[in-house]
């Protein structure tokens, strides 16, 4: 009973992590939930708006953005994606699986890189089609009032794909926080605290401060990429995405340093 055992490589660890991702019902369901949120709201929100068009308040009409209206479900989808990113790591710590994983890959870091790569690929593969379908459904509903837009309009395709990129980075940030904190509740609280609560706190500061700080916060920076029109006191789309990615990279780097050192 001899076995051909070859060395551990990054590619093999990626294959292993893909098996882990697809073989857990909870991860498949999380991705499915994200798709349902994105596509479900793409019908709901535009239908309500189209039924009440034109709005009484002219300001509503002025600020109307058919792209973001059709992608409203993203705000719910980010919960599913973020939690999935966290659980991919903390699920292993909670169950003890991480010991088997590190016994198989004692250098450890290939596991972190593989998890991030497999997750990012899966999140993109699921959310890119979902946001495009959601956009098209939303626009076809809005077209009853002739207030739709199209992927050919300036900035629209970038904003649609940018929404998918935003979701993916939210998940990678969650994954990194999971590896950093090794605790599901703590990582989820930190992830959504930094995405949703930080802007609220900054909002209380004098506007001379908050205008400067706010645009660099993770959620604000990341969402710059999802907007068709560049708003005041926000970063430009690509700079915003870069800042958001930097948050995830810094968290991953910190997780990597600790992962190598810590006892398991």
Task: Looking at residues 222 to 261 of the shown chain, list those that interact with another protein (rule: CB under 8 A).
Answer: 261
Residues ≥6 apart with Cβ < 8 Å to 168 = 81, 120, 123, 124, 127
Minimum CB distance to another protein, residue 251 (Å): 23
- Residue 107 binding another protein, by CB under 8 A: yes
- Residue 16 binding another protein, by CB under 8 A: yes
Residues ≥6 apart with Cβ < 8 Å to 79 = 192
Q: Cα–Cα distances in Å, from 45 out to 67, 69, 72, 262?
A: 11, 7, 7, 47
- Residue 200 binding another protein, by CB under 8 A: no
- Residue 29 binding another protein, by CB under 8 A: no
- Residue 100 binding another protein, by CB under 8 A: yes
Minimum CB distance to another protein, residue 179 (Å): 16
The region of 57-65, 88-96, 119-127, 188-196 touching another protein under the rule CB under 8 A is 88-96
Minimum CB distance to another protein, residue 16 (Å): 4
Residue with Cβ nearer another protein (107 or 229) = 107
Q: By CB neighbour count within 10 A (0-12 exposed, 13-18 middle, 19+ buried), where does 138 fall? A: buried
The Cα–Cα gap between 6 and 32 comes to 36
Minimum CB distance to another protein, residue 1 (Å): 6
The region of 33-41, 102-110, 193-201, 242-250 touching another protein under the rule CB under 8 A is 102-110
- Residue 32 binding another protein, by CB under 8 A: no
- Residue 99 binding another protein, by CB under 8 A: yes
Minimum CB distance to another protein, residue 121 (Å): 16
Considering only 30, 101, 127, 219, the residue that binds another protein (CB under 8 A) is 101
C-alpha of 191 from chain center: 11
Instruction: Return residues touching another protein (CB under 8 A).
Output: 1-9, 12-13, 15-17, 19-20, 23-26, 91-92, 95-107, 261, 263-264
């Amino acid at each position: 009973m001899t076995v051909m055992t070859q060395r551990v490589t990054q590619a093999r660890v990626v294959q292993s992590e893909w098996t882990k991702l697809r073989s857990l019902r909870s991860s498949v369901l999380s991705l499915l939930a994200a798709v349902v949120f994105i596509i479900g709201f793409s019908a709901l929100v535009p239908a309500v708006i189209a039924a009440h068009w034109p709005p009484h308040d002219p300001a509503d009409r002025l600020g109307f953005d058919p792209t973001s209206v059709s992608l409203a479900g993203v705000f719910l989808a980010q919960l599913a994606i973020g939690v999935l990113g966290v659980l991919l790591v903390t699920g292993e710590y909670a169950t003890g699986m991480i010991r088997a994983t590190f016994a198989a890959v004692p250098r450890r870091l290939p596991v972190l890189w593989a998890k991030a790569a497999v997750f990012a690929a899966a999140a993109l593969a699921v959310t890119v089609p979902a946001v495009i379908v959601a956009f098209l459904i939303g626009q076809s509903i809005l077209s009853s009032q002739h207030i739709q837009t199209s992927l050919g309009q300036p900035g629209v395709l970038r904003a649609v794909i940018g929404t998918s990129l935003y979701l993916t980075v939210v998940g990678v940030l969650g994954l990194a926080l999971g590896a950093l904190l090794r605790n599901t509740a703590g990582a989820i609280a930190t992830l959504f605290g930094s995405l949703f609560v930080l802007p609220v706190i900054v909002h209380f500061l004098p506007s001379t401060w908050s205008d400067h700080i706010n645009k660099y916060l993770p959620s604000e920076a990341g969402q710059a990429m999802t907007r068709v029109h560049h708003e005041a006191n926000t970063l430009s789309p690509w700079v915003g995405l870069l800042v958001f990615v930097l948050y995830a990279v810094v968290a991953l780097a910190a997780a990597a340093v600790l992962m190598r050192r810590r006892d398991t």
